[in-house]
Amino acid sequence: MIVDLPNTTTAKISKALVRIREEGGAVALGRVLTLIIASTLGHEEEAIEAANDASREHPMRVIVVSTQETTSSAATPEARVDAEIRVGGDAGASEVIVLRAYGDAASDPESLVTGLLLSDAPVVAWWPGTAPAVPGDSPLGRIAYRRITDASAQPDPQSALHHLCGSYRPGDTDFAWTRLTLWRAQLAAVLDQPPYEPVTGIQVTGAAASPSTTLLAAWLQMQLQVPVDYELTTGPLANGVHGVHLTRASGTISLEREVPDIATLSQPGQPMQDLTLKRRSLRDCLADELRRLDPDELYGEVITRGLPQLDDVVSSGTGV
């Protein structure tokens, strides 16, 4: 069910929520958090769909704050807020409140959502598109336990990733890191098997549009204390991480994904294996990040310490 509330206020939205709850039996009990999605007008639906899917694992209230993209030539519209309330089949296991703010009404997003937050429930803020320069210092970021960005959605993903190094605050995370979960788990499992030899060389390849490739190289170098040789490729078919090669005295371990969703693992003295290694969907990444509401300390170390160390290796000519 979708209820439209044109030119409304937060107080009217709250009253409508109570009325819907009383008339239709929808309840807020059991909601474990409030997810705030900061989007631009006309680009909300993909994020809402991902949140609806993730809500089956994490029942929540979803508040979408959708504003116009700022352009110098655009005329300032009249200040108003149009709202939608989605419950039932249109909202998964959540209740979705879509706030489309125009003009000066969009200047203070915190005031738009404050009266709609679930009491005593943690708040997570997500920017599926363009994120603030410093998410933790932004109006929505200040009220959130966790703040989720996506460097791959920015015009220049590699520059956006390096910007996160300086803007990091405890509680920040980025989907470029979340997309690496399966890669990191597989590589850790391989190195946890005999012969337990030290890694003497690391090579990482991936797409230039994939900040995950750079983060994977930074994580490997930081954890194994070995300079990484990594290569970023371009082209219409180049996407994601392509492969990792770990050199040890007994030979080279290679994990390569040359076809979608399937990776090939080769190790010295063992037969080659085909492994399922899917590119994680938006829903998978969001659900993964909502499983923890405390700061991701490892991500913080990689983005603030590992990434600069990787840059130092590159600038010294040891890497690419």
What is the chain's pLDDT, residue by residue, as a tens digit (320 residues)? Answer: 889 999 999 999 999 998 988 876 655 556 889 999 999 999 999 999 999 999 989 999 999 999 987 655 556 788 999 999 998 876 676 799 999 999 999 999 999 999 999 988 999 999 999 999 999 999 999 999 999 999 999 999 999 999 999 999 999 999 999 999 999 999 999 999 999 999 999 999 999 999 999 999 999 999 999 999 999 998 765 689 999 999 999 999 999 998 889 999 999 999 999 999 999 999 999 999 999 899 999 999 999 999 999 987 655 444 44
- Say what the pLDDT of residue 25 is: 61
- Say what the pLDDT of residue 319 is: 47
- Say what the pLDDT of residue 170 is: 97
Kindly report whether the global pTM for this prediction surpasses the value 0.85.
yes
Question: Which of 264, 44, 38, 24 is CA-nearest to residue 140?
Answer: 38
Q: Where are the domains of the chain?
A: 2-173, 181-279
The two tokens of residue 32 are 């474990």
Contact 24, 87 (CB under 8 A): yes
- Say what the pLDDT of residue 253 is: 97
Show Cβ contacts of residue 94 under 8 Å, excluding neighbours closer than 6 positions: 31, 35, 51, 52, 55, 59, 60, 61, 62
Instruction: Output the CA angle 144-13-94, nearest 5 degrees.
Output: 55
Contact 199, 305 (CB under 8 A): no
- Say what the pLDDT of residue 313 is: 63
Contact 164, 149 (CB under 8 A): yes
Q: Position 213: which residue type?
A: T
Separation of alpha carbons 182 and 164, rounded Å: 22
- Say what the pLDDT of residue 320 is: 44
- Say what the pLDDT of residue 314 is: 59
- Say what the pLDDT of residue 68 is: 86
Partnered with residue 34 across adjacent β-strands are 61, 123
